[in-house]
Amino acid sequence: MAILNVELGERSYPIVVDSGLLSRKDLFQQYVNANEVMVVTDETVAPLYLDNLLNTLSGFNVTCHVLPDGEEHKSLATLAELLDTMVAAPCSRETTLIALGGGVVGDIAGFAASCYQRGINYLQVPTTLLAQVDSAVGGKTAVNHVRGKNLIGAFYQPRCVIADTDTLSTLDSRQLSAGIAEVVKYGCIRDAELFTWLEQNIDKLGQCDRDTVSHTIIECCRNKAELVATDEVEQGDRALLNLGHTFAHAIETVTGYGTWLHGEAVSAGISLAADMSCRLGWLEQKDVERIRALLRRANLPVCAPAEMTVADFMRNMARDKKVVAGRIRLVLLKAIGEATLVSDYPDDVLQTVLESAATY
Amino acid sequence: MAILNVELGERSYPIVVDSGLLSRKDLFQQYVNANEVMVVTDETVAPLYLDNLLNTLSGFNVTCHVLPDGEEHKSLATLAELLDTMVAAPCSRETTLIALGGGVVGDIAGFAASCYQRGINYLQVPTTLLAQVDSAVGGKTAVNHVRGKNLIGAFYQPRCVIADTDTLSTLDSRQLSAGIAEVVKYGCIRDAELFTWLEQNIDKLGQCDRDTVSHTIIECCRNKAELVATDEVEQGDRALLNLGHTFAHAIETVTGYGTWLHGEAVSAGISLAADMSCRLGWLEQKDVERIRALLRRANLPVCAPAEMTVADFMRNMARDKKVVAGRIRLVLLKAIGEATLVSDYPDDVLQTVLESAATY
C-alpha cells in the first residue's frame, strides 16, 4: 500500500493507492466522521462497485445517490438533484460524503460536499485512471456552465483519497486512454524522467499492467501533491497542471460536453500547446513529435476537431479561468519536463496554431 | 469613520461604518482588484442607490445584475441566473463582485462570489440595518432549499464591508424592526451592557437617530468580529450567534420564505429560547419579560404563528445545520448577556415551549 501526503497544514490529507481498498473497512472507518454516510456514484460505476462499498460500510447509516453518467450531466441541475437527496435524507453537517467514480462524479460530489450546509467532510474514491492520477487529488470541484467548463465550483479538499487500482480492470479502453493523457501531461510539465519512462512503458500501461499502473498513479499523485501543496488555490505554479486544458475546454464546450472525453480533449490540447511552444522557438520539433507519438500510441487524438474554427476557439478561450487583464494565459513548454505560464505571446502565433489545429 | 477589523490571518478585512461611503471612490478603489466589477443588487435597492454606486465606480468596467427582492427568491435558481450574467459578461477570475443590498442580496451574491470560477474577490455593501449589524459580516453565504433555510452555501469572507449609514434613511419601518431583532440578539448572547443601553435607546433606534444607529452598528459588528475571529467556520462559539435562529428558520420555512421577514422570525425565536431557558431554571422570568418588552417596543413579534404545530417545528428543526448525532442543539440563555449551546435538555421541556409558542 502506497501512501502519499498532500501537505496543506490543517487541511493535509493522504492519498492511499493499492488494490483491494474498497473492501478495507478499517480504512474507511478512519476517515468517516460520526455514523452518517452519503455515497455518490454514477450509473456506470454503481452496478460494478456500489455493493462492494456498501458492504464495507455496513453498520453506517448510508444514503446513496446515483448520478447520470457523463460530462454533459456535470451541471447545476444535476447538483441540485443531489442536494435534494441530501436534504430529504436528511443528512446532517456531520455526514461524510463519499465520491465513488470518475472525474465527473468527483467534481459534482466534491462541490456538493463544499456547499451542503456550507461544507461537510468528504472522501474521494476514484475509479478511473484519470481520476486516480489527477482529478481526485487537490480539491478542485466544479460543475460546467453551458458556456464554459468548470466555471462554477470551489476549492475544497477531501479528507482522504482512496484509489483502489482493482477498479481499473473494468475501465473501457477509451476511458483508460483518456486517463493516459493526463499522465503524459505530468511528464511534459515537470517530470522528464516520467516522460522517458512512459515512452518505454506506455504499451503496458495501455494494457493496464498492474505494476505499471501502480507506478504511474504514484508518480502522478506525487507530482500533483507537490504542486497543490505550494499553491492550493492556483495563484501560481498550480496553473501548470492546465497544460492543454484551455484548448481542451474550448473543444469540449464547442463539441458539446461528453462528445469528446475530457482526456481526449486534453490530448489534442497538449499537442496544440507543444506546437505553439515550438513556433515560439522554445521546444524543438523533435520533442513535439515525441509528445505526439506518445499520445498516438495511447490511441489519443493530437488534432482538434476539423469543424472548429479559430473563432470557436477564441470565443470559448476568452471565458477560461486563466484570463487575466483580457489576455488568455497559456501553459506552454520550454522543454519536455518544463512548463511555463505565458501571456505575452504574439497573437499571430496563437492564430497560426489554431488555424492548423486540425492538421497535425 | 469607524473601522473595525475581522481578524482572520490572511483573510482579515475591515468593516467601515460611516455616512456617505457610497460616494467614496477612494474607498472602493482600495478594495477592487483590476478593472472589472460585477454589481449585484435587487429591485428595491437599485432605484435608490445603484446610480450613486455606479457614479462612484466610473472608470471601472461594470456589469450589473438586479435580483428579484425577497427571501423567497434566495434560491439556487436565482443564483443560476446571476451566474449566467457573469458568464455572459464574461467576468474573469479577476472580477470584484459588489453586493449592494440587504441580507438576501449579500447571501446570494456572496455565494456567487465563492463559486464563480472557484472564488473571486467581493465586497459587502449592506443597505439594511440587519445586514449592517449582522449578515454582511463574517462570510456566511447561502441560498435556501425549499425544505430548509441556508442549507446550500459557503464560508467565504469578503475583502471589505462598507456600511453606509445613509442608506438606512430609506428603510421601511418593518425592515428596520427586523434589523433590531438581531441587535437585541447580541445583547442577549454576550453583551449585557448593550442590552441595557438598548432598553434606554430603543425608541431612538426605531426612529433611525443617526448617532444611535452608528453606535448600534459598531457595537454589533465588534461583537460579531470577535466571535468570527475565534471560530470562522462555526465549530464552537460562533454558533451562539444563532440564538433564536433554529426556531426562526422553522417559522420561515413553514410559513413560506418572505412571509415573515428573517428578523421577525428571529424575534419570535429569541422569545421562545428565553422561555425555554427560563423553564430550565437558568433565566429568571423577569429577564424573559425584559427581552420580550424590548422586542415589543421595536414592534417585533414574540410569538410563533398560531397555525404552526409542534410537529411543524420538529420536522423543520431536524434539518437544521446544528443537528448533531440526531439531537437538535439549541442556543439558550444562562442570563441576559450569556448564551450557551445545549443538546442535553429534556425533550418534554422543548415540547412544552413549542406547545405554548403562540401564546406569549
Separation in Å, CA of A26 to nearest CA in chain B: 22
Q: How far apart are CA A120 and CA A299, in angstroms?
A: 39
**What pLDDT is recorded for position B323?**
85
Q: Which domains does chain B have, with CATH numbers?
A: 2-170 (3.40.50.1970), 178-355 (1.20.1090.10)
- CA nearest A138: which of A18, A265, A69, A223? A223
C-alpha distances in Å from residue A140, one per residue of A15, A157, B92, B99, B283: 15, 8, 18, 25, 48
User: Which one from B224, B279, B292, B321 is the annotated catalytic residue?
Assistant: B224
Residue range A23-45, pLDDT digits in tens: 999 999 999 998 999 999 999 99
Q: Which residues contact B62 (CB under 8 A, 6 or more apart)?
A: B37, B38, B39, B54
**Residue A262 catalytic?**
yes
Known active-site residue A242: yes
pLDDT of residue A293: 98
The Cα of A117 is separated from the nearest Cα of chain B by a number of Å equal to 5
Contact B92 A118 (CB under 8 A): no
Mean pLDDT by 10 residues, chain A (360 residues): 95 97 98 95 98 98 97 97 97 96 98 98 98 98 96 98 97 97 98 98 95 97 97 94 97 96 98 98 97 98 96 92 87 98 95 94
B343–A contact, CB cutoff 8 A: no
Cell triple for B40: 449585484
- Among all chains, which residue has been given the C-alpha cell 499553491? A231
Whether the bond between A68 and the residue before it is cis, its omega within 30 degrees of 0, is no
A84: nearest CA partner in chain B: B145
- Is B83's CB within 8 Å of A152's CB? yes
Supply the ipTM of this predicted assembly: 0.96
Partner-chain contact A116 B90, CB within 8 Å: no
Distance of CA B348 to the CA centre of its chain: 31
| Interface-testing mutation among B81, B111, B115, with chain A (most A C-beta atoms within 10 A) | B115
**Tens of pLDDT along chain B (360 residues)?**
999 999 999 999 999 999 999 999 999 999 999 899 999 999 999 999 999 999 999 999 999 999 999 999 999 999 999 999 999 999 999 999 999 999 999 999 999 999 999 999 999 999 999 999 999 999 999 999 999 999 999 999 999 999 999 999 999 999 999 999 999 999 999 999 999 999 999 999 999 999 999 999 999 999 999 999 999 999 999 999 999 999 999 999 999 999 999 999 999 999 999 999 999 999 999 999 999 999 999 999 999 999 999 999 999 998 888 888 889 999 999 999 999 999 999 999 999 999 999 998
For residue A324, the model assigns a pLDDT of 83
The span from the CA of A4 to the CA of A160, in Å, is 10
Kind plus residue range of the DSSP H or E element containing A187 = helix A173-190
Q: A6 forms bridges with which residues in the sheet? A: A13
- Three-state DSSP class for residue A248: helix
Residues of B in contact with A115 (CB under 8 A): 111, 115, 152-154
A50 three-class SS: helix
Locate A257 and state its grid cell. 460536453
Please name which of A190, A165, A118 lies closest in space to residue B322, comparing C-alpha atoms.
A118
Which one is catalytic: B159, B245, B279, B322? B245
**Which residues lie across from A40 on neighbouring strands?**
A65, A99
For residue A67, which of A92, A102, A35 has the smallest C-alpha distance?
A102
pLDDT at residue A325, rounded to an integer: 81
Does the distance separating the beta carbons of B114 and A154 come in below 8 Å?
Answer: yes
Return the C-alpha cell found at A242: 492546465
CB atoms near residue A149 (< 10 Å)? 25
The number of beta carbons lying within 10 Å of the beta carbon of residue A286 is 8
pLDDT at B290: 98
Cα separation, B257 vs A74, whole angstroms: 29
Question: What is the Cα–Cα distance from A30 to A33, expressed in whole angstroms?
Answer: 8
For B79, the closest chain A residue by CA position comes to: A76
What is the Cα–Cα distance from B179 to B258, expressed in whole angstroms? 15
Is the C-alpha dihedral spanning A254, A259, A262, A264 positive or negative? negative
In this structure, the strands spanning B148-155 and B338-342 are unpaired
Nearest to A96, CA basis, from A107, A86, A81: A86
SS (HEC) of chain B: CEEEEECCHHHCEEEEEECCHHHCHHHHHHHCCCCEEEEEEECCCHHHHHHHHHHHCCCCEEEEEEECCCHHHCCHHHHHHHHHHHHHCCCCCCCEEEEEECHHHHHHHHHHHHHECCCCEEEEEECCHHHHHHHCCCCEEEEEECCEEEEEEEECCCCEEEEEHHHHHHCCHHHHHHHHHHHHHHHHHHCHHHHHHHHHHHHHHHCCCHHHHHHHHHHHHHHHHHHHHHCCCCCCHHHHHHCCHHHHHHHHHHHCCCCCCHHHHHHHHHHHHHHHHHHCCCCCHHHHHHHHHHHHHCCCCCCCCCCCCHHHHHHHHCCCCCEECCEECEEEEEECCEEEEECCCCHHHHHHHHHCCCCC
